[in-house]
Structures are given as structure tokens and as C-alpha cells.
Amino acid sequence: MTEFRRRKALHLLGGGMAFLAGCSETSDGNGNGTDESDSNNTSDSIEGDLPPYASMLPMNDRSAYFYGAIDVETMSTLLNDEGAEAGAEPTDPLVGNPVIVALLCSFGLQQLGTSAGLGAYTDHNETADGEEQFVYADGVYALVGSYDRDGLATALEAAGYTAESEADAYAVYTDGESDEVVGVSDDVYAYSYPNESGSAFDPVTAVERTVATAAGDRTPKHEDDDGFDRLLRAGENSGITSCLYTDGDEFDADSLSSGRATDEDGLQFEFDAFKGANGVHQQLAVTDTDAAATASAVVTYSSEDQVDEARLESSLGTEAEAVDFVTTASSVEIDAEYSGEFARE
């Protein structure tokens, strides 16, 4: 994960949350059509709608899986909010984790803004207003919408990009100057860069895996993993979302410590509350122009015996005006409400 400066979090919380009001919607329950009559069943019976970007989330060869998402209209508003007041740094993971997702996506959009391929993306983006999503998954930034793939290909080549791989429904290009890797399909514009830490991450492979999945040439993760599918269907998907999942019985130590800051000026994901769990889906949205916010989470465990509601209650919703925990078999649903003063000094 990427480390973010505290001042960026303050900027986002201070004024940016208020602007989410026009871009996010809230609903009662999980908003995914879950039938309340099934409340006494196990987590295997969870039903609901998948997020619109589920078909581009690829499988990989790792047990742990992380992604974050935000709609582009919300993200653009946050990036353009130059006069935001500073707010208080979030200590409540129900808010803090989605905030870091927003910052991660903000960084990704800033990268696009300096890319040689920006003109190609802008000129051949056919997405209807308000419908584009920004997703970070598997080391790849991806804009999910509707695109003129042939036009993108022509424009990228004209901008000096070189084709690395081509298929009927997608193509992958590299920029020799920036080492940027771009993948295009009818529904996704994806990009990534070599990992500066020197890890084995291969951006060409990761980007191709993403666009091939979006194009239907590879099986998306939710179709191959029932636990991941249930988690996506159970969670809210408006506003800002984040998801951490493992196909094991519970998260290992590396998964829970991923993204820890290395100095006192950093901001970090906080996953300690989810020890013993194997999945957590979080969502954050603002409900009015006073920056009142709602946050929700679904936490899943491999068995009822693993559920640790006491740990969740002691760590989550600590800054909320109201918070509710509901345990159903091997999953816990959390809903919290925050006042408008939450995002202010």
C-alpha cells in the first residue's frame, strides 16, 4: 500500500466530505436487495447486487486481496477543492480506511493528469455523466465506464505508446519515457507503473490481467470465489468503498499490517479490528451539505466461533454519534452516523 501525508487527509476531511453530498446516495440497509427474512440464515445465503465494476476485478495468485473504489465525479470534486478547511485526522477506521482509498485514487488521477495518454483518454471517453467509477485493484488504477477502444488505440500509438499485447477485445501499451503501462477495453481504461520498491510486481501482466478480465477473456474473482462474491454483494457500494479479503480462514499478520506508516507524519490503513476475520467491506458517504456522514461495514468470518464482536465494538465507530452492530451467523454488519462537526476542527 501507499503511504499518504497527514495534510492530505486533513484537506479531504475538512471540506471535501461536504462536496460528496451531491455525488453519493445512501439507503436503508445494505442497499443491495438483501431479503430481511433471511436474517437468521448463515452468511452463505447473503444475496444482493454486485458493484458495477465487479466484472473487472481479476483473480491473482495471492491469498490476500485488496481493492478500493470511488465515483469519478466525487473524486474530481475533491481534487478541485483548493479552499478546503483543515479538519481533524480520523482515528476511527470506519472513516479512516475509506479516506485513504480516496487519497490513493486521488494520487492515481494525478498520475493520469501528467500522462502522455491523457489526451487519448479524454478524447475517447464516452461514459455518461456521473457513471464513471475509479477503482484501484491488484496494483492497477482503472477507470470503469464506456470507451471508444479503437480510437484509444490509435491515439495512444500516435502519442508514442508501443503495443505489448493485443486481442480481439483489449490491448496493452507501454510508454518508453515514463514506463507507464496502459490497457484498454470497451469498458475499462487501466494503467500502472513499475514498483519503485524493486518488488516482483509486473505492471504489464497486472494491467493485461485487468483488461482481459473486463473484456470477458478471463474469469473475474467473484465468479471463482464464493466468499468474495458474498462479501461484494453484502456491502454498500456508493460513495467511497474499500475491501480487504483473504481466501484463507483468517487474515494473516502481513495482510492486517499492510500499509503501516514508517514515520509519525504518515497516514495508514487500520485493520487491527479485523483480526480473526477473512473479509471486510467498508463504505463511506456524506448525506447532506453539513458534511454529516454515514459509514457501513460488513465483516465476515470463516465460522460463527471466530466472530469477535467485542473487538469490533471497541475499535469501530469510536467517533460516531450513533453506531449499530448486528451479528448474523458468521458475519457482522456495522452502521454508523457522524455529525457535520465531525469533519471540522
pTM: 0.84
Residue 243's Cα: distance from chain center in Å? 6
pLDDT average per 10 residues of sequence, the chain (345 residues): 45 42 36 38 60 94 91 64 53 88 83 92 92 91 96 96 96 96 97 78 94 97 96 90 95 77 60 96 74 87 96 94 96 90 46
CA distance readout (Å), 138 to 107, 126, 159, 201, 240:
16, 25, 26, 10, 18
Residue listed under C-alpha cell 454515514: 294
Q: Which residues pair with 76 in a beta bridge?
A: none
pLDDT of residue 78: 56
Supply the DSSP string of 155-220, one letter for each residue: HHHHTT-EEEEE-SSEEEEE-TTT--EEEEESSEEEEE---TT--S--HHHHHHHHHHHHTTSS-B
Domain boundaries, the chain: 4-343
pLDDT of residue 3: 42
pLDDT of residue 289: 53
pLDDT of residue 14: 43
Pair 312, 293: CB distance under 8 Å = no
Backbone angles phi, psi at 232, to 5 degrees: -65, -40
